[in-house]
Structure 1
Amino acid sequence: MSNSNRVLVLALLLAAPGARAAMIEDTVAVVNGTPILLSEYQKEITSALEYWSKTQPAALSNPALVQRLRESTLEELITRELLVEQADRDKVKIRERELDAAVDDIQARFKKDDQGRPLSDKDAQTAFQAQLKGEGLDYDTFRQRLLRQLKARKEIEEEVKQKVPPPTEAEERAYFDQITAYIASGSTDLPKGMSEDEGAALRQAADQVKQLSAERVRVERILIRLAPNASDNERRRALKTAEDIKKQLDGGADFAQLAREDSEDPESAARGGDIGFVMRGVAPPALEKAVFSMDVGQTSAPILTEIGYSILRVTEKHAAEKPEFDRFKNDLANYLQQVAFHKQLEVFVKNLRDKAVIERHLPPA
């Protein structure tokens, strides 16, 4: 927001009581005199609720959790405003080409439909414009909001992230030893003195180390989808399609080519069917039983899983192995760097908040 606009907003806020009330009704917070608009908050909370409805829909039936989500969304907007203001004080600049590139990156997300199928440039542009309209934005306002986000991001990059030193090898080894000791203990109890967040991170790291050290196979897949409520006729047609593809493979057809042409999993189809490594104990039982009994290069008959019929091919097999520090060194370094960065970011933002004047006007749910 320009200085002239900020002065205008302050003038309106200091005007007659009725004018001040009208302004506050359209805001959810005021940060150092700058309003955070209700429309911007609604955009962010709608996006957050949509994400939760797809990933953890049952959680949205918990009023307390929804209220925490509403409050945390507001706090994120306040933090963003504080970062933008600090970026302006630090004279952070976003070049026009940086903004153009960020716009292009966002528009590129509209070049595929919800199923991953490519759209024409015209249809992609229509989808992009529809998204803007749905959020109540015109193109110029969209660019201005994106510019503010880029400023906040660059402020974090230049004033926090670049100033965090990399971890030492001793720190990396100490954390690796902590992970392996936790795995070896077989216990779910955390080391004494460890916070809840640190414990969650340790469990996640231990799970990843266990998975990457477990027996694993690399798999390619051709998927013929089936809806959970598919009729018997639909199931027969899907099986017939999968069996026809298997016959082509048995006749010498190229697996990757058929995956690109016929698989109904767009993401893996684009990679010739590659779905990456399958770890023992992680995959669905029917899939796990098949791939761990197959030899490298072998192709399965159609296998029914909860999402449809899969034709699988094993391309690599690796036996279980003892975790070794050198194998995880780079990942540990990246993780510890991120931990240090987030701690410094918390301190940086807290300092901004301590010096700020913040009013909150979050409307009732």
Structure 2
Amino acid sequence: MKDALEPRKVVVYLFIAAIAVVFTLQFGPGSSGFSRADPNATPSSAAVVNGKEISLMEFRREYVNQLQYLRSQGQPVSEALARQFGLPQSVLDRMVNTELLAQAAERHGVKASDEEILKILQQRPDFQKDGQFDYAMYQQTLRDYYRQTPADFEEDIRRQLTAQKMIGMVQGGAVVSDDEVRTKFEKEGNQARIVFARFLPSMYADKVPAPSAADLTAYKQAHEKEIKEYYEANRFVYQQPERIRARQILVKVAPDATPEAKAKAMERAQALSKEIEGGKDFAEVAKASSEDQATRPSGGDLGWVESANWEPALANAAFALEPGKVTQPVETKFGIHLVKVEEKKPAQDRKLEEVQDEIATTLYKKDKAKETARAEAEKALATVKGGKTISELFKPEKEQPALLRFETETRPEAVQTDTFNAASVNVPHLGPAPDLLTAVFASKGPQVLDQAYAVGDGFVIAQVTERQLADDTNFAQKKEELRKQAVQAKQYEVADSFLKSLRKSGDVKTNTAALEQVSGG
């Protein structure tokens, strides 16, 4: 086989992007932190897996693809909300998992065949013209969007398909017994609906005064360990190279472009520069004219960038500017760039001794806000036990999707869940809450649950509004479908166990700063 697959061999990458969402949901541990952050990680790396680099550019592309996919599905996901729900970490975890699986596949002699790739390519519409794969279209997209050679692009495809084959082999041996099917039926037939309200420390943070000098001294003495741990966990905040928040406009130039083509691209970049100098808004020009598809929709927004992430010529030009200024056209291997510097943060190396008062104040106020949230939850629970309902006490100001409610929630609001069952690991519209789930399914009927439950950083009070127990009469009708579902659940378990073993035996380092840069945190 040639270094690069021929025209019929290439279009699977977008197929991989399409299944990435499922792969994330199945095997992406989200922000569980299975790998360790490495402050000394290569600046251009998002992660390093057993010595194999996942570049910052690869991560940025996958993260943008994930955001665009969610938005295309009608989800109103802002970048702030994506960060709140851990999407950057989830995307990176999925990429790390894929690399771990591909490496494991190599050790087991598993490899995606040319025939398997060809079969997928023949079914892909993305690069077809008149129902047939079009090689010219493939070359253009590969050059303009992916910025990869055919050999590199196809190797990425092969590794991701190989990872899929590896996880398929691991899952192939999953079987379930009749007892497991029966247990699943009993759990899924055990159903409930609840109304709950959350009490979060953030809702009361502005009511917590700063500590007095005496309180601060006492807190530092009593929480020396916690202060040090906070500093270590957030070291990247206190020890950072110089950074800029920037936007860019890119006029692409192919690696093999002729001098005439390069000159034409430079002329176009200079024309765009004159438009900006004439008063046009940089972001609007980027949306209209930039050829960087990843940043064009956001007006060329690159987030916070370190100089080491860029080629020296571009970094030198941009980092020499004051905020609000725009570079002259700068040529790199990707094309001609115009960069606007919006903000600058100088390099810093703040020692623990310099920031311990700041950290102690943050932790003190956080603890006090949490105490207030608990007290307010318990006060509300007493009122509910006295005859009021959660819905009466905490009526939402306006109806909106649960996803947006979590982004804007500033006070307790009553939330009515959909029906869920005893097999659930999450409470609808709330998330993981094991103690609350146990209490819900211990109840025999509608009732007020008798305590405020710790969920995440906050506290939750709840009322069971509907209860239904499993009905044996329809077990025979549902048995085979339940068996299929149980097999799928077992496949998840064996796959998750296999991945955990790969993580435990492997060497995975992640670049926390990379997540911050790409996601704008």
- TM-score by structure 2 length? 0.36
1 or 2 for the larger relative contact order (CA 8 Å, sep ≥6)?
2
| Larger helix proportion of the pair | 1
